Structure 1
Amino acid sequence: MNSGGQFVISLDFELFWGVRDKRKIEDYSSALEKVHALVPEMLAMFREYEVNTTFATVGLLFAQDKKELIKYSPALKPNYKDSNLSPYTDGFGIVKDNAVDDPYHFALPLIEMIKDKYPEHEIGTHTFSHYYCQEEGQTLETFKADLVSAIEIAKAKGIELYSLVFPRNQYNPEYLQVCKELGILTYRGNEEAWYFAPDSKEGTTLKKKIYRTLDCYLNISGHNTYKLSDLISGKPYNIPSSRFFRPYMAKGGMILEELKLRRIKNSMTYAAKNNLLYHLWWHPHNFGQNTYRNMETLKSVLEHYRKLNLQFGFKSATMLDIAGLLDEK
């Protein structure tokens, strides 16, 4: 698998739990509802192009109903300075009983579809509560309690968790020992450029946001591809991000979309030619608006992957697959 480079895709699967501090359901309901149709479409497309992915899934989405959601919530909860960051603040007041009544907070049918019908994909964790590791008020102990809850609810559904994506990419190196103790083998770190450094909500400046956005369309930070040998620094292994698959921007139209696609394809080609790893990621709900255009761009990326696979031996891999390769080195 390590000849020709590796193509990793991770998806931050979170629904409303991941945007609840920034959006209102009534303003974003359409995009969230579409996820329940989009994930099956993505799974079918991934299988067509023989691409395996890691679904980093918020633990709360595993709950069958509200009762189970409460049952698995940790007793020790983060006490964020900004209480709006905590999903526990309102006692789950807006959450309805199950996925049928509430497509914004539950996704067990989709999780079971991935597990049972598309076992080539990995189901990882995005923490239990979409936990913010850089925010004031949370501690190492509350992080551990959160991760234990994520592991327990997944195990109850027959799923073992080995890969972690930190919500909002708020990577905290002090927490890696806890991850290791709980059996997490890999996590997705950030690109090396200064504007990708993990920050709290307050620490993410407008300047950083502008640079991150520009870098999706223009090669500012480089290809952000990685040698496997450089990722062996102890477990859990850091499998860093290469690129956020930014959704289609209607204001920028096809000009920006073509720039974005060229940026991704050029870096994929560079990785394939130089036996490097390229790691692309997004949220399923990102495709909930301008769905057709986003899916067409994804299809173009996957077609490019197939071309690189045939030409250079570029191989699709989950985050867990990469851990296996690193274990062999």
Structure 2
Amino acid sequence: MPEGIFTVSLDFELYWGVRDKRSIEQYRRNLLGVRQAVPAMLGVFREHDVHATWATVGFLFFDSRENLTQNLPRLLPSYAQNVLSPYPYIQSSDCLEAAYHFAPDLLDMIAACAGQEIGTHTFSHYYCLEQGQTLEQFAADISAAVATARARGLPTTSIVFPRNQWNPSYLATLNQFGIRCYRGNEQSWIYQASADAQETRLQRALRLLDAYLNLSGHNTYQLAECMRAPPFNLPASRFLRPYSKHLAKFEWLRLRRIKAAMNDAAINGKLFHLWWHPHNFGTNTAQNIHFLTRIAEHYRDLNCRYGMRSLNMGEICRLGSNS
């Protein structure tokens, strides 16, 4: 039986990931807290040999509005809802504060840490299921993302679609840019990929409950099923919800839910894929790092007992291609 695999992916986006939903003032603490959360997460990963893919919005590679605007894609998205596009925001801003919009220093720190992969979260936090945008615009966005990473000596093998809006019609485009895998969604209908407006309150409520109680199953996967044809789908197993003071008394349930799925993957030789955003740890950082440490400790126990391995998404692709 093959060994189980534990993988982690992080949607690294800073303000670009929430810009159409919240103001900087509303989310300031989370965004500023990323500067402390990223080194703390890397410390946990390093101590427990956890490999992770940091799916990064291409904008974060730059250090100023001026440098960013000199490297925009040849085509920009024509969303029906103009607020979804970051480009009017960029053009109307005299200055984009680096703390909220750019992170080349953090990317250097991540790239220097063993087992960490810099993937892409598209160039502009591109929404593949929203009305108005086109395949050609998506391709231009990905081209810019890959070129930006390449300029820093980083190949782009893995992608995570913003808001989990992966579009089956767009997958073939990834191959031409050398992107070999993506993070798909859990199989349950409550995690179905959809445009933002199509998500229901019931889906959101059930996803919250599913973080504590097993509503959708373990969401672990046979690697052979994931590696049928490129780009390979390495689906999500569980979103690591951040600590909530209001739900603190249920933390044991949240941890038990994750550990049970990790056990299933380790014992049965499957893939378990955990994901979250660095800004989720921007507040209550100590509590979130403590929880992450308990997960990492459980992985090391499964590694000792069952030979479970921690691989980032790119490493899984190479493993699957060679098997």
- TM (norm. structure 2) is 0.97
Work out which of the residue numbers 102, 105, 109 in structure 1 matches 2:101: 105
> Is the Cα contact below 8 Å between 1:72 and 1:152 reproduced in 2?
no
> Is the Cα contact below 8 Å between 2:36 and 2:282 reproduced in 1?
no
Work out which of the residue numbers 236, 243, 246 in structure 2 matches 1:248: 243
For 1:230 and 1:294, the matched residues in 2 are separated by 32
Shift of 1:95: 6.6
Which deviations, in whole Å up to 9, do the C-alpha atoms of 1:119-177 show, x marking residues without a partner?
Answer: 42110000000000000010000000000010111111111111000000001010011
Shift of 1:254: 2.6
CA root-mean-square deviation: 1.2
Residues 95 and 324 of structure 1: is their aligned pair in 2 closer, same or farther, counting only changes over 3 Å? farther
Residue number in structure 1 paired with 2:138: 143
Residue number in structure 2 paired with 1:203: 198
Q: Secondary structure at the match of 2:185?
A: coil
Residue number in structure 1 paired with 2:229: 234
Work out which of the residue numbers 123, 141, 145 in structure 2 matches 1:128: 123
Which deviations, in whole Å up to 9, do the C-alpha atoms of 1:227-253 show, x marking residues without a partner?
Answer: 111112210100000000011122112
Which deviations, in whole Å up to 9, do the C-alpha atoms of 1:208-235 show, x marking residues without a partner?
Answer: 1111111111101100000111112210
Aligned pairs for 1:71-220 within 5 A: 71-94=70-93, 96=95, 101-115=97-111, 117-220=112-215
For 1:95 and 1:145, the matched residues in 2 are separated by 25
Structure 2 residue 42 is matched with structure 1 residue 53:
no
Q: Secondary structure at the match of 2:99?
A: coil
For 1:72 and 1:119, the matched residues in 2 are separated by 29
> Is the Cα contact below 8 Å between 2:183 and 2:235 reproduced in 1?
yes
Residue number in structure 1 paired with 2:9: 10
Give the letter for the 2:102 counterpart: F
User: How many residues are matched?
Assistant: 323
> Is the Cα contact below 8 Å between 2:49 and 2:115 reproduced in 1?
no
Shift of 1:86: 0.6
Aligned pairs for 1:12-27 within 5 A: 12-27=11-26
Give the letter for the 1:81 counterpart: A
> Is the Cα contact below 8 Å between 2:31 and 2:99 reproduced in 1?
yes
Structure 2 residue 295 is matched with structure 1 residue 296:
no
Shift of 1:3: 3.7
Give the letter for the 1:8 counterpart: T
Give the letter for the 2:146 counterpart: I
Shift of 1:40: 1.0
* Structure 2: gaps spanning 5 or more residues: none
For 1:75 and 1:134, the matched residues in 2 are separated by 20
Q: Secondary structure at the match of 2:100?
A: coil
For 1:291 and 1:114, the matched residues in 2 are separated by 18
Structure 2 residue 320 is matched with structure 1 residue 321:
no
Give the letter for the 1:203 counterpart: Q
Q: Secondary structure at the match of 2:196?
A: coil
Give the letter for the 1:36 counterpart: R
Q: Secondary structure at the match of 2:131?
A: coil
> Is the Cα contact below 8 Å between 1:95 and 1:105 reproduced in 2?
no
For 2:142 and 2:189, the matched residues in 1 are separated by 28
Give aligned-pair identity as a percent.
48
> Is the Cα contact below 8 Å between 1:164 and 1:186 reproduced in 2?
yes
Residue number in structure 1 paired with 2:69: 70
Shift of 1:53: 0.4
For 1:46 and 1:3, the matched residues in 2 are separated by 23
Residue number in structure 2 paired with 1:275: 269
Which deviations, in whole Å up to 9, do the C-alpha atoms of 1:10-59 show, x marking residues without a partner?
Answer: 00000000000111101111110110121111111100001110000000
